[in-house]
Structure 1
Amino acid sequence: MPTYSFRCAQRCDPVEQSFSMADVPSEVTCPECGEAAGRKISSPALGRGSSAAMKAHDASRATADTPAVVSSLPPAADRHRGPHPTHCIADCRAPDDRRFPFVPTGKSDGMSELPTPPSIADGSTTEDVVDWVAEHLGDLTREGPDGISAGGIRGGQSAADTALAGLDITGYARDRSTVLPVDRRGASRMSPYIRHGLLTLREVWDAVSDAPPRDRSRYRDELMWQEYARHLYARTGSDLGRSLRREQPRPQGWTAQPWPEEMNCMSSVVGELHEVGWLVNQTRMWLASQWAVRAGATWRDGEDEMFAHLLDGSRAANRLGWQWTVGTGSGKVYGFSRWQVNKRAPFLCRNCALKDACPIENWPDDDLGPAVDGPDLNKAPIPAGPAHMEGTGAEQVWITAESLGTADPALAAETDRPAVFVFDEPLLRKLRLSGKRLVFLAETLGEIASTRPLEVRRGRVADELSGRALATTWAPVPGFSRIADAIAPVELHPWPWLVRPTTSSVRSFSAWRRSH
């Protein structure tokens, strides 16, 4: 009898129960919290292969002083199942259920200090950084140490600065939703640098001031959407991980995987997600709608899967995007069908094995799920952190993954003050991110280490930083407040908001926008 996995909205451990295929329910009761645990539907086990996209971004990364560029979507025919699956849903174990023991290296104090990552700015290569991640963090990744590779966008301040200097959004309003051909895409690929604070929203906002008015307006709307996501996350915290206004649709009749390999539109986009770690917004909506609106798989599982691979993955933007697409946060579902593929990437349909029997020929049902008693989204204060620096006397700067740029307020306050970064081992072990995300972080940390003393550690953050006189920059994520309460930084710097939060509604982007 088959065994099925279920998981609740509180993200307790998965529940595994056996049912006949005819009797398997859509949900069971979670034994830990008592809430309903929805059935988890795994995604296809795509491997990493020698696809066109992989070759293209490998070639582009060979030039260390420019960000990588991907020339085309990876065709499904070029991918094969490798020995190291790139993802899992129900239980993120290493291949063959092997565990890779962590053997600390470079220790100076018998605890968990790591050697600093190699710096590309000082002549190291991306492969040097990949090797560093494999040795020191590989056991925490989805691929395991032997399966780690870089994504399609290089990390580091110099790469971010180069991207910003070359930012040209002419035609953005017309081409921002283009999927193929790749050279016609209007999307700017700035999001990984914004997500990790290498570029602030204000810097990017100002950089497009001379763009054509229609393009500038559309692009700045997207920047404001990013700011709205941060405000919403600051307000709701972990509640953003559950349906805000309605439960998701639960259509019946889809029996394939949520992202079937046989569908060229799905396999190509999932391949780009896994190999490059970045997608245009249009294909992000395709994946979310196909996963939840048509296939009926639990949206939180799909969001987890996408988050694990995106170089710009943030819970704020990713969860908001999924909730908007599947109707749980917007009250309206986004339907995905063959029509969008033919409009945005007709090549995918023409070369699909299912072109004459397309399973998404018609629009999916647009039925909404029942209303839920979600968090209060109406007019109320939004946590914003300090407006000015508070405290003094710090000896070291604690930098977080939210803010790793040279403009980080705590770093910029004293340019020669030593810094410390901690890879949060319990969190990473739980998330099982793709190694390419850690390569991006390591590339960034390597550059920081070339400009000031940097201590890199691995462990439980509060334990690693206990007893230090730290400066840090406030961050609009729930984990920051929890750790800051434990370590009590002596110097707290303000977050560089594009628009500082006020008392406002976060029920929708338009409602929030009226207050900003």
Structure 2
Amino acid sequence: MTRLPTPPSLAAGADPADVVRWVAEHLGDLALEDPSDVTAGAIRGGQSAADSALALLDVTGYARDRSTVLPRARRGASRMSPYIRHGLVSLREVWDAVADAPARDRGKYRDELLWQEFARHLYARVGTTLGSTLVREQPRPPRRPSDVWADDPWPAAMRCMDETVTELHDDGWLVNQTRMWLASQWAVRAGADWRDGEDRMFSHLLDGSRAANRLGWQWTVGTGGGKVYGFSRWQVRKRAPALCRDCALNSACPVEDWPDADAGPRVDGPDLGSGSVPAGPAEVDGESAEQVWLTAESLGEQDPALAANDTRPAVFVFDEPLLRRLRLSGKRLVFLAETLGELGDTREVEVRRGTVTDELAGRSLAVTHAPVPGFARRAAALAPVEVHPWPWLVRPGTESVRSFSAWRRSHRGPRASSA
């Protein structure tokens, strides 16, 4: 049973290096890197950073520029995803924030928010099965010793791979275009198991979400439907032409042509047709808990359980067995620590390290429902006395999660589109 000091608060004037040192000292043995190599990512954690990003959100030109990779100054991606993933802003808040954007840009951006919501619905429905092939086996191209990726599916000799992997490792964030490049190169080109690549990417992403990341990989490599995204030089020349110009393999590009990758055979996966999607309570269930249990899905000041009583202390547990297994990059731990440190400015925040159910056993807990399987297991063991609804953009019902396109058509009416 280990209680940690509350992390330093950047909002209260702490140096960012102080938070890095806090993580290295208290969580460094659980990180992917050596404790001395822990660094912050490119996106700062904390409610004030999230609020500032939301206030400055401008998606004008998003439809045109959302897939731009280089130059970075022309990227249209909003970089809101780490804040959305950890509940510092809700999908509804972001949806409403772009209400006055140009119609085409607003529509494209809101489609991406709906994709995030669909991923949550799917994950709530199938749980950890999302880590297994859903519909078809992945393509298995022949692997030859002469391939530039024979020793590493993301070969550094390819400038497009080297630049993208470096950005993933240094920043902890990528535009969607390069996420697809990495997934397709790993599984469709190199024939490596998509689950291993998804794990490697997940460990670095500040917005790392099993729901969104696994669905993105399955969609890209064809295991979630059947259409395979074929990575080739064409995408690089269109989205980041400087990478091709500066590549040592410019005159012998190994991805010059489209990959020969047909959809794999069908598998007997989970039922994705019409069925109940677990959504949690629609209204507050219970009352008068003494302490708020914070989860990594809901760390914002507007977390429903927090907002219900602004004087209740809160508790967050760094799940030691889980972190030891996942080996997340220290960047992700720094983002969480920055968020907890700032939250500690407004109320008492108890930070612990250990097994969640052991650290919180016997407490009178209020919590916001989270649509992830880990929450369901821990909540069953802890029996919180006050459970608040998850802030869905589109509350699930009995529906199919087989196709995002079909799901989106059914959810573009008043429930999702009001602003």
Give the TM-score category using the shorter length.
Answer: over 0.9
Q: 1:219 aligned to 2:114?
A: no
Match of 2:119 among 215, 229, 249: 229
- Is this contact kept in 2: 1:198–1:407, CA < 8 A? yes
- Compare the two structures and name the one with the higher helix fraction: 2
Structure-2 separation of matches of 1:515 and 1:186: 27
In structure 1, the partner of 2:161 is 266
User: Which residue in the other structure is 2:203 paired with?
Assistant: 308
Distance in 2 between residues matched to 1:515 and 1:233, nearest whole Å: 19
1:125 and 2:20 equivalent?
no
Residue 443 (str. 1) matches residue 338 (str. 2):
yes
- Per the TM alignment, residue 514 of structure 1 is displaced from its structure 2 partner at its CA by 3.4
1:189 alignment partner in structure 2: 79
Alpha-carbon spacing, 1:458–1:339, altered in 2? closer, same or farther (3 Å): same
Q: Which amino acid in structure 1 is aligned with residue 154 of structure 2?
A: W
Matches within 5 A, 1:460-479: 460-479=355-374
Alignment-derived partner of residue 163 in structure 1: 53
CA distance in structure 2 between the aligned counterparts of 1:211 and 1:515, rounded to whole angstroms: 23
Q: Against the structure 1 CA distance between its residues 442 and 515, is the aligned structure 2 distance closer, same or farther, given a 3 Å change threshold?
A: same
Equivalence for 1:105: none
CA distance in 2, matches of 1:511, 1:334: 20
Partner of 2:27: 137
Note if contact 2:143-2:191 (Cα within 8 Å) is conserved in structure 1.
no
Query: Which residue number in structure 2 is paired with residue 493 of structure 1?
Result: 388
Name the amino acid aligned to 1:179.
V
Match of 1:369 among 264, 268, 280: 264
CA distance in 1, matches of 2:72, 2:383: 47
User: In the alignment, is the contact (CA less than 8 A) between 1:254 and 1:294 conserved in 2?
Assistant: no
Partner of 1:83: none
Letter in 2 for 1:416: T
Q: CA deviation at 1:126?
A: 1.0
Give percent identity, aligned residues only: 76
Aligned residues: 406
Q: 2:36 maps to which residue?
A: 146
Equivalent-residue separation in structure 1 for 2:38 and 2:362 (angstroms): 35
Superposition deviation, residue 254 in structure 1: 4.4
Q: Which residue of 2 aligns with 1:346?
A: 241
Does the residue aligned with 2:27 lie in a helix, a strand or coil?
helix
Q: Which amino acid aligns with 1:159?
A: A
Amino acid at match of 1:315: R
Contact 2:158 / 2:248 at 8 angstroms: preserved in 1? yes
Q: Deviations over 1:240-266 (max 9, x none)?
A: 000000110110034422000000000
Task: Name the CA shift for 1:254/1:282 in 2 (closer, same or farther; >3 Å).
Answer: farther
Q: What letter matches 2:385 in structure 1?
A: V
Give the superposition deviation at 1:366. Answer: 2.4
Q: Provide Cα deviations, 1:337-383, integer angstroms capped at 9, x if missing partner.
A: 00100000000000001101111111111211111110000000100
Q: How does 1:233-248 map to 2 (within 5 A)?
A: 233-248=123-138
- The separation in 2 between residues aligned to 1:360 and 1:210, in whole angstroms, is 41
Given that 2:141 and 2:261 are in contact with CA atoms closer than 8 Å, whether structure 1 keeps it comes out as: no
In structure 2, the gaps of 5 or more residues are 412-419
Q: CA deviation at 1:511?
A: 2.2
> Structure 2 CA distance, aligned partners of 1:377 and 1:126?
44
Q: 1:506 aligns with which of 398, 401, 405?
A: 401
Equivalent residue number for residue 414 of structure 2: none
The 1-side partners of 2:54 and 2:125 are apart by 30
Do 1:254 and 1:296's aligned partners in 2 also have CA atoms closer than 8 Å? no
SS of residue in 2 equivalent to 1:122: coil
Q: Which is worse superposed, 287-296 or 248-257?
A: 248-257
1: CA distance, partners of 2:122 / 2:408: 12
Q: Any idea what SS the aligned residue of 1:356 has?
A: helix
Q: How does 1:46-445 map to 2 (within 5 A)?
A: 111-255=1-145, 256=150, 257-445=152-340
Cα deviation for residue 416 of structure 1 reads 1.3
Instruction: Report the TM-score, using the length of structure 1 for normalisation.
Output: 0.78
- Whichever residue aligns with residue 300 of structure 1, its letter is R
In 2: Cα distance, 1:360 partner to 1:286 partner:
11
Output the TM-score relative to the length of structure 2: 0.96
User: Which one-letter code corresponds to 1:235 in the other structure?
Assistant: R
Give me the whole-angstrom Cα distance separating, in 2, the residues matched to 1:511 and 1:212: 25
